[in-house]
Amino acid sequence: MSVEFAGTDRYVATDDLKLAVNAAATLSRPLLIKGEPGTGKTMLAEEVAAGLGKTLHAWHIKSTTKAAQGLYEYDAVSRLRDSQLGDARVHDIGNYIVPGPLWECFTADAQPVLLIDEIDKADVEFPNDLLRELDRMAFDVYETRQTIEARHRPIIIITSNNEKELPDAFLRRCFFHYINFPDKDTMADIVAVHFPDLKKRLLSDALDLFFDIRAVPGIKKKPSTSELIDWLKLLLAEDIPADSLHSTDNDLPPLHGALLKNEQDIHLFERLAFMSRRGRR
């Protein structure tokens, strides 16, 4: 077993996650990652590539993405234009086949990491259309009658935000890991990785406040890890003292815009702060 992902100095991976990555890499199965937004799903692929010293091929999925685009695209428009201009290239159809991310992965010299980001954004049939390619690690190019076969089975990481259910047949071929929202201790580790010289008291106060906000019932968009890190960045940049984080005369935490992204949430929070102040009097 050559691969052994152990997190990197910029990314705190839980032991569960490391094991899931290593299992998927060793058995060459795609690894499906789900979890709350902002828990570092997409970053994982980048860090796996960095940690194992492999190149990353990212394929970001949009609602209009078709499975075939991951393999290759036939650029009919260029060919049409070239035929009008009398370009000699036009006689070889191979000149107009544009390789997609999967093709590039399959023909890479060393084992690459392939990220299929936000697979749930695509059409319902999208994952099913990829089954054969992921199973066989090969596909045919109809236009040129070639078969592209993977020279090294890539490590495939797929992320999903759970907007759609994925088909069973697809799930059966994947390994699955759900990234939990980190607990306070893991969160402190994550913050330490990003801000090594953050004052201890500011950090613990900020974390308390952050988890308090997450626990407020009815909040529409719970702040996530990446938002916490942005907020801390701001706090540091503004040099906010730790005391002001739990001062009572302010309705909202300082620089709340980084944490609360929805005006209903801000109103809710103001109301709660008002009520708690009234309750104290």
CB of 19 to another protein, least distance (A): 5
CB of 62 to another protein, least distance (A): 10
The answer to whether 22 contacts another protein (rule: CB under 8 A) is yes
A 10 A CB-CB count for 191 gives 21
The answer to whether 80 contacts another protein (rule: CB under 8 A) is yes
Q: Which of 2, 9, 109, 168 binds another protein (CB under 8 A)?
A: 168
Q: Which stretch binds another protein (CB under 8 A): 27-35, 43-51, 143-151, 269-277?
A: 27-35
- Rounded Cα distance, 244 and 202, in Å: 10
CB-based contacts of 192, cutoff 8 Å, min separation 6: 198
The answer to whether 16 contacts another protein (rule: CB under 8 A) is yes
CA-to-CA separations, 268 to 79, 209, 231, 262, in angstroms, rounded? 58, 16, 20, 10
Lookup: tokens for 280: 């104290």
Nearer to another protein, 36 or 104 (CB): 36
Burial letters 70-91, b for 16+ CB under 10 A, else e: bbbebeeeebeebeeeeeeebe
Beta strands at 175-179 and 56-60: parallel, antiparallel or unpaired: unpaired
Nearer to another protein, 146 or 264 (CB): 264
Q: Give kind and range of the element (H or E) at residue 113.
A: strand 113-117
The answer to whether 24 contacts another protein (rule: CB under 8 A) is yes
Chain residues 174-233 in contact with another protein, contact rule CB under 8 A: 174-178, 180, 183, 185-186, 189, 217-218
Nearer to another protein, 61 or 166 (CB): 166
Q: Which stretch binds another protein (CB under 8 A): 138-146, 157-165, 199-207, 221-229?
A: 157-165
Nearer to another protein, 114 or 179 (CB): 179
Total residues contacting another protein (rule CB under 8 A)? 44
Residue by residue, DSSP assigns 161-207 as -SSSPPPHHHHHHSEEEEEPPP-HHHHHHHHHHH-TT--HHHHHHHH
Q: Which residues bind another protein (CB under 8 A)?
A: 1, 6, 14-16, 19-20, 22-24, 26-27, 29, 31-32, 34, 63-64, 76-77, 80-81, 84, 124, 163-166, 168, 171-178, 180, 183, 185-186, 189, 217-218
